[in-house]
Amino acid sequence: MTVLEVVPETLLTTEPWEEKGGVHWSTASPLNVREVAKSMNALKARFITITAYEMPGDEGFRLEYHWDLDGKLLGFPFQLSGKSIESIYDLCEAVDWIEREIHEGFDLDFLGREYEPLLLRQGDTAGVNLREEAK
Amino acid sequence: MSYKIPMGPYHPALEEPYKLDLICEGETVRDAKLHIGFNFRGIEHLAETRNYIQVIALMERVCGICSNIHTLTLCQAMEKLTGQTPPPRAQYIRVIMAELERLHSHVLWAGIAAKLMGFKTMFMTCFELREKVMDVLQAISGNRVNYSMNRIGGVNRDIDDPAALLIMIDVLEKEMVRKVIPIFTTSSTARSRCADIGVLTNAKAISLGVVGPVARASGVAQDLRRAAPYAAYAEMDFQVPVESAGDVRARLMVRALEIMESCNILRQALTKLPPGELNAGEGKLAFITGTATSRVEAPRGEVMYSVSWKEGSNKPARVHVRTPTFVNMPAIRSMVQGARLADTPLIQASIDPCYSCTDR
């Protein structure tokens, strides 16, 4: 049995979860985003959003995935070594727009999906880091 | 043979910009593609350039309808980073403001829906009622759109005369019961324009993760005021209206019933308003490093703010806003598939979209 399979029973009490800043964070490591999505589907958790962070210096990007489970906010952090992560769009269609927004605004790639038509912008290039553009 | 009808970005039905490319066969819509971004202002990025006082004023301007909700959610997140707990009176005032804003938003939506149905008289009636709600909001805050009520650790202004507001709530509720709800629920015009139109099935609503009245009209009984209470909602006794049909009429019914529940909550909050301070204290705030998240049930559904802070800074490192329309809008594609072209403006309006919120 994996950590994620025992979420409801252990959410508030056991080691792989830490409540901080209003979120029940999974501290299990390493996490695979597609396995997390499958586990959340099995639990009938509702996908909320992904928050993207551009870390200072050469630390790259961090993505935080959030689901709601009966009013509890679950968080799964992923530190990206490069500029891509597997898409979970085929497992969770609610993720569509936020994956597209992050791709268009942070130039991160969600592997295994298409982005057309562009959600936010016009043009030929989908992935642009708007923060870099704004400097 | 199919053909494409572009609707927008300067929308004939909803006076905000977004674009819907409708793929039609005859009068029937087969598919739709949505384009947003026309209101993109880079507010999340701008937030990183504002200090912890300025950022509240900035985020209040994400939306012109639920401006209070944005500052409430932001302040709740920042209170987790500063360790401040608003006093009870402030928590009640936050509930009162949130419910007045819900009333204002739902009555505004009812007016727009009536206009799209061809019910111009009803549109005027709803906007007259909306004015009364705006009067209450103005009486409390001095403002009609950006109320500036929330601060980190409490609220900026008191409610001096709750009894006077109770009278205004009574008048509003009477008008809703006497005029608006009977017409929306019993008139044959409203029924023919709304029943079995723009259906979002329960399974699709769950799959798309829609929120707020759109979810509750498709049988998804979720409401953060009940599931994860904030402010003083844990002390309020109220129902969460849920309908199962998933059509425009169900969305209309849910909002109509929510107007009544908002009046109920307002009456309780105004009657039980506890004495005491309005905020947790003056002085410079110290933020802990890290991320805090807050969620609030806005009129259109769940709003979520993630706020990140770096040590020693007076500015947020990141503010991410997930608005309800951002998750409800993709559902329009499912709703319009198989619909008559003439029904698409009302179907789009039925999710009560806010493009300003969506684009940020």
**CA count, 13 A, side-chain hemisphere, A30:** 7
DSSP letter for each residue of B26-48: TTEEEEEEEE--TT---HHHHHT
* ipTM for this prediction: 0.86
pLDDT score recorded for residue B62: 87
pLDDT at B353: 85
- Per-residue pLDDT, B1: 76
**Third-level CATH fold of B3-359:** Cytochrome-c3 Hydrogenase; chain B (1.10.645)
Counting as low any pLDDT under 50, the low residues of chain B are none
Report the alpha-carbon distance of residue B232 to residue B38 in Å, rounded.
37
Are the C-beta atoms of B189 and B248 separated by less than 8 Å?
no
Question: Which residue from A49, A53, A130 is facing B322, i.e. has the nearest CB?
Answer: A49
* Tokens found for residue B277: 């301070």
The 10 Å CB-count burial string (b at 16+, else e) for B208-218 is bbbbbbbbbbb
Provide, as residue numbers in chain B, all residues whose Cβ is less than 8 Å from the Cβ of A46.
206, 209, 222
Q: What is d(CA B22, CA B190) in angstroms, rounded to the nearest whole number? A: 24
CB contact under 8 A, B302 and A47: no
Residue B1, helix vs strand vs coil: coil
Tally of domains in chain A: 1
Helix (H), strand (E) at residue B227: helix B224-227
Chain A interface, mutation test: which of B327, B329, B351, most A Cβ atoms within 10 Å? B327
Partner-chain contact B326 A44, CB within 8 Å: no
User: Looking at beta carbons, which residues of chain A come within 8 Å of B33?
Assistant: 117
The sign of the torsion formed by the CA atoms of B295, B56, B264, B268 equals positive
The DSSP secondary-structure symbol of A87 reads: -
Q: Can you state the angle between helices B248-272 and B162-175, rounded to 10 degrees?
A: 160
- Distance from the Cα of A51 to chain B's closest Cα (Å) equals 6
Most B CBs within 10 Å, among A40, A43, A46, A53, to test the B interface: A46
| Chain A neighbors of B359, CB-CB under 8 A | 120
- Please answer yes or no on whether A20 and B77 come within 8 Å at the CB atom: no
CA torsion sign for A95, A97, A102, A104 is positive
For residue A50, give the CATH number of its domain.
Answer: 3.30.460
Distance from CA of A1 to the nearest CA of B (A): 26
- Report the percent of chain A where pLDDT is more than 70: 78
Q: Tell if the CB–CB gap between B326 and A21 is shorter than 8 Å.
A: no
Q: Measured between beta carbons, which residues in chain A are less than 8 angstroms from residue B37?
A: 119-121
- Note down the domain range covering A33: 4-134
pLDDT at site A135: 67
Q: Taking each helix axis as running N to C, give the angle between helix B88-117 and helix B67-82, from 0 to 180 degrees, rounded to the nearest 10.
A: 150
Binary contact (A21, B80; C-beta < 8 A): yes
A69: nearest CA in chain B? B227
Q: What band does A55 get if pLDDT is binned at 50, 70 and 90? A: confident
What's residue A5's pLDDT?
52
**Tens of pLDDT, residues A91-116:** 999 999 899 889 888 888 889 887 76
Distance CA B113, CA B190 (A): 10
Contacts of B320 in chain A (CB under 8 A): 49, 51-52
Contact yes or no for A97 and B45 at CB 8 A: no
Supply the pLDDT for residue B6: 87
Chain B residues close to A72, C-beta within 8 Å:
228
**Apex B290 CA angle, B318 and A10, nearest 5:** 120
d(CA B297, CA B61): 18
* Cβ-Cβ contacts under 8 Å, B306 against chain A: 51, 64
How would you list the strands of the sheet with A46-54, edge to edge? A17-20, A23-26, A72-80, A61-69, A46-54
Distance of CA B43 to the CA centre of its chain: 19
What pLDDT is attached to residue B187? 80
Does A88 have pLDDT greater than 90? Answer: yes
